[in-house]
Amino acid sequence: MKKLSCILLVLVMMLGAMALAETTGVIEIGTVEELAAINDNLSGNYVLTADLDLAGVEWKSIGAYAPSGESAEEQEIPAAETAFTGSFDGQGHTISNLVINQPEGWAQGLFGCVSNAKVGNFTLENATVDAQMMSADVVGYAYCSTVSNVTLVNGRVNAHWGEASAEGMYGGIVGAGMGSMVENCTAQADITLPDGTANAGIVGGGLEMTSVVGCTATGTVTAGNDCYGLGGVSGCGFAAEQFTDCTADNVVITAGDNCFWIGGVTGYAGGYADEQYGMPVTVFTNCVAKNMTVNAGANADGIGDIVGAGFYNEQVAQSMGAPFDQPTQFELVNCTTDSAKADDTAAAAQLLEDVKGTYVALFPIITDPAYDQIWLDHCAAVVGDEMAPAVAQALKDACNGTIYGQEAIDVYGDGSNGAQFDCLFINGVDQITFDGAVISGTLAGETVFSHEYAYVSPLSLGGMMNGYLYETADADAGEFKYFFMMPDTPASTYHLEFRYGSDVDALTEYATGPYAYWLAAGFTVDADQTMTENVIGLFCDENLAEMAGEQPAA
């Protein structure tokens, strides 16, 4: 995608925040003729009242693209007088047999160009669009608009090359998107590109500052030689505020020679952490690429399971300069592929086998005065004899907290000035037993909970500790609905670390929410003296590792 000026970025944000202009009444659409007549009133609010069949109709896209001015930035802003600026609610109806044959056309689709508009709530079935640039079966170019709850069945977009089509931008739902939202859309489509063009995906093509949420893609993307930006869901996900809960399933991407930036979900993506550029880092959350096939020709580059690459190449760096002289940044949060999910599932099942046994809280045991000398010996080896007592006490205190959640937040705030972690078992249990898929807890020998758990997904605690999330289907589980297990076992770290509760999002936070400053640490009830000494040593060594090269030996 092209570099944007600060002026354009401000305009996009301002226009994206504007409410749709109110028009008088709602206009019902019940015939093909009435649908086509939207072009006579592009600012109206429309509702579809019947299924429509466009077979045999020479369709003219609703709304046309024309630049708002002569500058490069103004050419990305469509003229309001030619674009569709109203709303269209399909009310669950189906529009079928759309055919557009405009090999030299820009912004082609059922809707050609929409600006500050809302389009959605319908099915488009059996659609074929032949066009040159910024085109899709549903919306060719969406500017500061929302496209939602659209299902595309048996869609096809055939891109045709022209002198201006190097950036291409073709998709099943949206071809080009700027400052828009594509939400809860499903596309089953085949997208075909000639040599020397780019930005194609089954849901969206070239999407800039456009969020994609809850969308699913199935079908094919087939490109010639010298193409880039090919993805299952979208070709490009540049500076998107959200890219969440999207799935590419049974997608085949085929690329010719010298193609690059090919991803299971998105071909390329990202933004810049520096806010002065106005291009946020794209975060892919809960996105999945499964049953994927990528067939790339010679000299292919930048191929990824979820995202192919960040936006960067030498030509761009030389011609555009900062910030494009460095790759855009993107993040993947809980994103999976077939192979990754299979590996995670196997590892999560194995973890429950490896931790079989009954556990009590770790720290009341290992901070017993009987083990003071072991603490001192390990600390002295790093900080010396003089400092060892104070350091050992500080380590013990750090994990001997007795408050968590809001009470701890009230005392510790964000933890920047110090905090204690509560590492006990909460919610009225003093022992927890892991027996394969069954996890149970007791208090003074009486059962408090017992449920069977199944692996859900990988999970991260504060972005620093990664583990596995398990869930029970039992409706009465309450605060034992989820178990979040770190990959620790008695054989690897001599202890366990885990959390449990009813709120998944809260289980991923350190210093906020109902589980703030709490992380349970378990120690097997049949641990011997050697294991006790080993876990104290591990705790000291890991926490003092950064000091090892700075302090004299004892």
What separation in angstroms does the CA of 318 have from each of 198, 236, 237, 270, 397?
20, 21, 22, 19, 55
Q: What mean pLDDT do residues 196-215 have?
A: 95
What percent of the chain is predicted at pLDDT more than 70?
90
Instruction: Report the sign of the C-alpha dihedral through residues 427, 428, 433, 437, in that order.
Output: negative
What was the pLDDT predicted at 16? 37
| Amino acid in position 483 | F
Contacts of 46 (CB under 8 A, 6+ apart): 26, 27, 28, 29, 38, 86, 87, 88, 89
Give the tens place of pLDDT for each residue, 366-375.
Answer: 999 999 999 9
What was the pLDDT predicted at 23? 38
| pLDDT exceeds cutoff 90 at 271 | no
211/373 Cα distance (integer angstroms): 57
Report the 10 Å Cβ neighbour count for 529: 9
Token couple for 393: 């006490």
What was the pLDDT predicted at 461? 84
| pLDDT bracket for residue 340 (50, 70, 90) | low
What was the pLDDT predicted at 19? 33
More confident residue, 262 or 546: 262
194/256 Cα distance (integer angstroms): 10
159/178 Cα distance (integer angstroms): 20
Q: What mean pLDDT do residues 298-323 have?
A: 78
| pLDDT bracket for residue 544 (50, 70, 90) | confident
212/200 Cα distance (integer angstroms): 15
What was the pLDDT predicted at 336? 87
What was the pLDDT predicted at 163? 81
What was the pLDDT predicted at 315? 66
The dihedral formed by the CA atoms of 367, 373, 374 and 375, expressed in degrees to the nearest 10: 60
Bridge partners, residue 152, by sequence: 124, 187
What was the pLDDT predicted at 547? 52
520/480 Cα distance (integer angstroms): 13
Q: What mean pLDDT do residues 185-207 have?
A: 96
| pLDDT exceeds cutoff 90 at 68 | no
**Distance in Å from the first CA to the final CA of the chain:** 60
- Given a contact cutoff of 8 angstroms between Cβ atoms, the answer to whether 359 and 311 are in contact is no
Query: What does DSSP say about strands 186-192 and 146-159: parallel, antiparallel, or unpaired?
Result: parallel
- Find which of 146-150, 286-290, 305-309, 333-337 is predicted with most confidence, using mean pLDDT: 146-150
| pLDDT bracket for residue 342 (50, 70, 90) | low
What was the pLDDT predicted at 4? 34
More confident residue, 340 or 540: 540
What was the pLDDT predicted at 71? 78
What was the pLDDT predicted at 18? 34
What was the pLDDT predicted at 551? 41
Beta strands, E only, 102-245: 111-115, 118-131, 135-136, 139-143, 146-159, 170-171, 174-178, 181-183, 186-192, 198-201, 204-208, 211-213, 216-222, 228-231, 234-238, 243-244
| pLDDT bracket for residue 312 (50, 70, 90) | low
How many Cα atoms sit within 13 Å of 333 on the Cβ side? 18
Token couple for 468: 């596995």
| Amino acid in position 138 | V
Structural domains for the chain: 6-227+234-253 (2.160.20), 352-547 (2.40.128)
Contacts of 128 (CB under 8 A, 6+ apart): 98, 99, 100, 137, 155, 156, 157, 158
| pLDDT bracket for residue 143 (50, 70, 90) | very high
| pLDDT bracket for residue 20 (50, 70, 90) | very low
What does the buried/exposed string (b/e) look like for 32-48 if buried means 16 or more CB atoms within 10 Å of the residue's CB?
Answer: bebbbebeeebbbbbbb
What was the pLDDT predicted at 5? 30
Q: What mean pLDDT do residues 230-245 have?
A: 93
| pLDDT bracket for residue 314 (50, 70, 90) | low
| Amino acid in position 378 | H
Give the tens place of pLDDT for each residue, 26-44.
Answer: 999 999 999 999 999 999 9
Give the tens place of pLDDT for each residue, 71-108.
Answer: 767 778 899 999 999 999 999 999 999 999 999 999 99
Give the tens place of pLDDT for each residue, 411-466.
Answer: 999 888 888 999 999 999 999 999 999 999 999 999 999 999 999 888 888 767 88
- Given a contact cutoff of 8 angstroms between Cβ atoms, the answer to whether 133 and 104 are in contact is no
Minimum mean pLDDT among 61-75, 148-162, 234-248, 497-511: which range?
A: 61-75
**Collapsing DSSP states into helix, strand and coil, what is residue 338?**
helix
What was the pLDDT predicted at 219? 95
What does pTM read for this prediction? 0.62
What separation in angstroms does the CA of 162 have from each of 136, 166, 192, 194?
17, 8, 15, 10
| pLDDT exceeds cutoff 80 at 1 | no
Average pLDDT over all residues of the chain: 89
Distance of alpha carbon 381 from its chain centroid, rounded?
44
What was the pLDDT predicted at 338? 75
Instruction: Report the sign of the C-alpha dihedral through residues 411, 413, 414, 418, in that order.
Output: negative
Checking phi first, is residue 402 left (phi over 0); if not, alpha (psi -120 to 50) or beta?
A: alpha
| pLDDT exceeds cutoff 60 at 13 | no
